[in-house]
Amino acid sequence: MIWETVRLAVKAIFRNALRSFLTVLGIVIGVAAVIAMVTVGQGSSKQVTADVESLGANVLMIRPGRRAMGPGSSSAQARPFDLKDVDHIIEAVPEVETAAPLGGRSLTAVYGNENYATQVQGTDNRYFHATDWPVVMGRPFTASEERSGRPVCILGETVRTELFGYSDPVGETIRLGTLSCDVVGVLEAKGASSFGTDQDDVVMMPMRAFQRRIAGNTNVATIFVSVRDGASTDDAKLEIEYLLRDMRRIGPEEEDDFNVMDMKQLASMLTGINDVLTGLLSAVAAVSLLVGGIGIMNIMLVSVTERTREIGIRLAVGAQARQVLMQFLVEAVVLSLLGGVLGIALGLALAAVGANMLSVPFTPDPLVVLMAFGFSAVVGVVFGFFPARRAARLDPIEALRHQ
* Residue 15 C-beta: closest distance to another protein, Å: 6
* 311 vs 369 by CB, closer to another protein: 311
Residue 253, number of CB atoms within 10 A of its CB: 5
Site for another protein, residues 369 to 398, rule: CB under 8 A: 396-397
Residue of 230, 249, 322, 366 that binds another protein (CB under 8 A): 322
209-232 burial code (b ≥16 CB/10 A, e <16): bbbbbbbeeebbbbbbbbbeeeee
Q: In 3-state terms, what secondary structure has residue 67? A: coil
Can residue 317 be called a binding residue for another protein (CB under 8 A)? yes
Residue of 168, 242, 309, 349 that binds another protein (CB under 8 A): 309
Residues that bind another protein (rule: CB under 8 A) add up to a total of 20
Q: Which stretch binds another protein (CB under 8 A): 45-53, 65-73, 234-242, 310-318?
A: 310-318
> What residues pair up with 198 in beta bridges, in sequence order?
192
- Determine the Cα–Cα distance for residues 77 and 274; give it in Å rounded to an integer: 29
Q: Which stretch binds another protein (CB under 8 A): 65-73, 83-91, 244-252, 321-329?
A: 321-329
Residue of 78, 240, 244, 319 that binds another protein (CB under 8 A): 319
Cα-trace Rg, the chain: 31
Q: Which stretch binds another protein (CB under 8 A): 102-110, 245-253, 270-278, 311-319?
A: 311-319
Q: Which stretch binds another protein (CB under 8 A): 147-155, 157-165, 318-326, 382-390?
A: 318-326
Site for another protein, residues 83 to 122, rule: CB under 8 A: none
374-386 burial code (b ≥16 CB/10 A, e <16): ebbeebbbbbbbe
Can residue 147 be called a binding residue for another protein (CB under 8 A)? no
Decide: 375 and 32 in contact? Cβ < 8 Å.
no
- Determine the Cα–Cα distance for residues 91 and 346; give it in Å rounded to an integer: 56
* 368 vs 391 by CB, closer to another protein: 391
Can residue 302 be called a binding residue for another protein (CB under 8 A)? no
Residue of 35, 220, 315, 335 that binds another protein (CB under 8 A): 315
Can residue 142 be called a binding residue for another protein (CB under 8 A)? no
Can residue 325 be called a binding residue for another protein (CB under 8 A)? no
The full DSSP string for 223-243 is EEEEEPTTS-HHHHHHHHHHH
* Residue 296 C-beta: closest distance to another protein, Å: 22
Q: Which among 128, 123, 183, 118 is positioned nearest to 153, based on CA atoms?
A: 183
User: Which residue blocks in 93-195 are alpha helix, DSSP H?
Assistant: 125-130, 143-148, 157-164
Binding site for another protein (CB under 8 A): 1, 4, 15, 309-310, 312-323, 396-397, 400
